[in-house]
Chain A
């Protein structure tokens, strides 16, 4: 189908882009979520500002124990980055699960998290990584932790004239095991449930546990009860199974044609166990 008419600008610099956005234009990154909506005329922005050609947003840099990723970095670049594969394998693994090759060639991490689809993959990983999200507008910059960025369905901390400019993830000391496990919706490939786990063990006990969940509820979340239930416990299957019972954190499960709330609940526990088990194996 065909979009409503719109103006299009591809600015040469980020500051030019931000000025246009402050003036009401809508940012366009990979377009993998926005353009289908526009073609169905469910979204009709009057002016699109293309962020896709800005080198200021496209980088993956190792700086002082943290990896800084430009918001305009494509899923493909994240998936194929040797730096991320070595130092932040959770993000690499998550990127491989997104959509398909064509989507990964164009979709960007900034665009994806700004869209905040309840079934997107990155939010689970970013929750588990305790990533920092850098937001920029023409008037300045601020940093928001992941837990304060994803607020609700399609709702983030972004103010109307802000864009995501950078995502910062930790590089892990020693042996941190991570894993992203996802149950694919058979039509769309979105996460019916997706769990990202990040663990460390010391002396046979869990010394660090961070778990991010996507797809289950209205937006992604940290499974804090699971984390607390595991910290200090023996690093084994029984602990994981017991902790996984807390996976839903009292949140309401989504329900749709493809998965009822009850089924999601069952899948969540299963995938919680699988992600934690896999992360634990990788931590030794």
Chain B
């Protein structure tokens, strides 16, 4: 007999509203500052006001005597705690010993020197003010080129040349390419230091239970499992007795992909005092002591033939390391090297990195982590080459792109680009914006003396970290799917979303695979006592790697369900569809709920099958993924003020398959905002004494909603062959694509004045000065 099969609509691919949002927008989510434990103390950190100084003495007596102060700790007290780790291993890497409190010297403004523990945060702040530290200020150095110059003050006395490491990579025959080139162009290009500024600053609550030797640390982190392993080591604890919880995390953007001194310090304090302790970072502390992003002074050379064929690229990166290494600091610029060829097919590269110490807070991963710098560099050089050869910037790109039949494409830097059709994407962007009409409009505008620019950026990006041999601490991800006796589903993911929305995306995947309603699925993450070991969230890897682990776990669940289904239906062949197992011969069905109940009740187990309905998958990706896209920005400059108006922004991004367009839009818009922030407004500025001059939002200019253009966003889709979902990842793509498009647009606008390059941020004063001087 015929049975009607109710087709449940697939959720993957739909703009599903987020499951996270109700609690976030009603203020009922639990962030680390919402955690209150009985008898909890508060900690306030005393920090160095100097960029470089010797500590001559610390007098804690007045602070310790203040009623309500429970304890005061200084550098000598914490020598038993392990040092802040650097997980990146480069040959010859010089590793300054990084204690969680300064010892005899301070190396950057904000360097923690002492910590006051008190019964409430007010007394802790008053106590911190009473700690008297006598410093002998030393000469600081904060500019990388000054740090490398002869006679520069030594950031670390043992390494007077201020070099943390050098790194070189050669691909093909760059010297030959440069020798044979018709045209060689050079440019110094800066990717300036940035402050990540997540909406939620860092924060830690630590609780120690002496009798069980158990430490729980709540911390605003992107990597709770890694934090547990590392902090256990630093504190001399048994890993299995330690619990790390990432509660709701209000943004990270890479700056919380790290292990910070304060995390271990709070653990130390909890263990020493026997009472829980909380530390919440102020915004000012966040500016000073949470890692900064970027920090490159790059010297580029491009070699080409007169017909526009790029032959080779040389790149020298002077990387501003800061005073210490944090978790991935030295590795970040090596990611720039990997992506230096961009979307182009040239085979000859030479890269040299000098990692340089400065008396500043360390740099580390920040949205894009090395790839925005590389993309910005190559896209600027391509525009500079196009200008020199009087070629259209779109033409020169199309001429040099890897073509769609060359995939997987082995790059000159040792990568294998997974899939792509760069020509289609750029052409789509050019059509969307009406490129040839736009160039005509530009010519008319120029005839009227207007400064109108069209800037193109075609970016490639390496993400979905990644194959474990190439990723420190492992690049796999884990997922457990538990179908409960009632048929409801719990997903435990080792990834650690902090705003990206995987509670929704993963639920969509599970809903489609198992045929259960979205509401029947809960996704848990972030608590190392609940979730199996995972790597965490960074490098745009959640969906591509975490989602794939989930997908495979779901397949295992489906296989087991089919076995139980066959047993329940007493038949040999079943089909699983729309949440039901169906006997293909009789048409009889059982639901997921019935199967689940049966699997736990275990009245009749299928042969060779255990009770229960749980599957765990640890999935190792065979490769990174490589999203790409084309962003085009039209701008006009107000000659009188230097103000830049963005007239149009077209973005065509290829991120492979799209599982939730609403979330993808969010990632692209947010990424573009941060990229425009770098291009136009943001810069972390240190003076020569190590003072962070842009240390508040009064001086550090963030993008605002009112300054954002409307982004005309569309997509091409070349699914990734690397994972079963065909997904490439989108978290960082917007940031990588937007910055070069904006800068190229402004320089295009200024080109009638003979301008070849202007460094970011493109402040109105910089532009005004150029226009004023050209008019003179």
Contacts and interface: CB of A to CB of B under 8 A. Distances in A.
B765 interface: yes
Interface in B688-703: 693-694, 697-702
A5 B123 CA distance: 10
B125 A266 contact: no
A96 interface: no
Contact of A258 (B126, B699, B769): B699
B710 interface: no
B685 A183 contact: no
Given A187-B697, A187-B699, A258-B699, A263 B126 contact: no
Interface in B755-770: 763-765, 768-769
A144 interface: no
B72 to A, nearest CB: 17
A247 to B, nearest CB: 13
B124 to A, nearest CB: 8
A41 to B, nearest CB: 7
Contact of B126 (A5, A183, A185, A266): A5
Interface string A256-276: 011110110011001000000
B18 to A, nearest CB: 26
A258 B682 CA distance: 12
A259 B769 CA distance: 11
B245 to A, nearest CB: 26
Contacts, number: 53
Contacts of B642: 263
A257 B701 CA distance: 12
B681 A260 contact: no
B185 interface: no
A188 B698 contact: yes
A175 B694 CA distance: 45
A179 to B, nearest CB: 16
Interface in A176-208: 183, 185-188
B132 to A, nearest CB: 16
B45 to A, nearest CB: 12
Contact of B641 (A1, A258, A270): A270
Interface string B671-709: 000000000010001000000011001111110000100
A40 B768 CA distance: 35
Contacts of A188: 697-699
The A contact surface, by secondary structure, is: loop
B121 interface: yes
Given A258-B699, A263-B765, A4 B126 contact: yes
A97 to B, nearest CB: 13
Interface residues of A, number: 20
6 contacts: A1-B125, A187-B694, A263-B765, A263-B768, A263-B769, A266-B640
Contact of A266 (B697, B699, B707, B768): B768
Contacts of B769: 262-263
A41 B129 contact: yes
Contacts of A267: 641
Contacts of B698: 187-188
Contacts of B764: 183, 186, 263
B159 interface: no
Nearest to A264: B765
A267 B771 CA distance: 13
Contacts of A270: 640-641
Interface in B626-648: 640-642
B546 to A, nearest CB: 37
B35 interface: no
Given A183-B641, A183-B764, A187-B698, 6 more contacts: A1-B282, A4-B129, A186-B763, A257-B699, A266-B768, A270-B640
A40 B262 CA distance: 21
A40 B641 contact: no
A73 to B, nearest CB: 25
Nearest to A270: B640
Interface string B203-217: 000000000000000
B8 interface: no
B402 to A, nearest CB: 38
Contacts of A4: 126, 129
Contact of A257 (B129, B694, B768): B694
B679 to A, nearest CB: 13
B772 A266 contact: yes
Given A259-B765, A263-B765, A270-B640, A2 B122 contact: yes
A4 B125 CA distance: 9
A94 to B, nearest CB: 19
B441 to A, nearest CB: 26
A5 B67 CA distance: 14
Contact of B284 (A40, A258, A259): A40
Nearest to B693: A257
A183 to B, nearest CB: 6
Contacts of B129: 4, 41
Contacts of A183: 641, 764
A33 to B, nearest CB: 11
Contacts of B681: 186-187
Nearest to A39: B282
Nearest to A41: B129
A2 B763 CA distance: 33
A41 B641 CA distance: 36
A266 B125 CA distance: 45
Interface string A36-52: 00001100000000000
A220 to B, nearest CB: 20
B131 to A, nearest CB: 14
Contacts of A186: 681, 701, 707, 763-764
A253 to B, nearest CB: 13
Contacts of B765: 258-260, 263
Interface string B126-137: 100100000000
A5 B120 CA distance: 13
Nearest to B681: A186
Interface in B723-776: 763-765, 768-769, 772
Contact of B700 (A187, A262, A266): A187
A266 B702 CA distance: 25
B703 to A, nearest CB: 9
A258 B641 CA distance: 13
A186 B417 CA distance: 39
A268 to B, nearest CB: 11
B619 to A, nearest CB: 44
B762 to A, nearest CB: 11
B701 A187 contact: yes
With most chain A CB atoms within 10 A of its CB, the pick from B126, B284, B641, B685 is: B641
A253 B125 CA distance: 38
Interface string A133-154: 0000000000000000000000
Contacts of A5: 122, 126
B641 A2 contact: no
Nearest to B638: A270
Contacts of B707: 186
A170 to B, nearest CB: 31
Nearest to B700: A187
Contacts of A263: 642, 764-765, 768-769
A4 B694 CA distance: 25
A257 B685 contact: yes
A148 B352 CA distance: 62
Contacts of B699: 187-188, 257-258
Contact of A187 (B122, B125, B702): B702
B266 to A, nearest CB: 18
Contacts of B122: 2, 5
A264 to B, nearest CB: 9
A32 B699 CA distance: 17
Nearest to B685: A257
Contacts of B685: 257
A266 B697 CA distance: 25
Contacts of B697: 187-188
Contacts of A266: 640-641, 768, 772
With most chain B CB atoms within 10 A of its CB, the pick from A2, A259, A266 is: A2
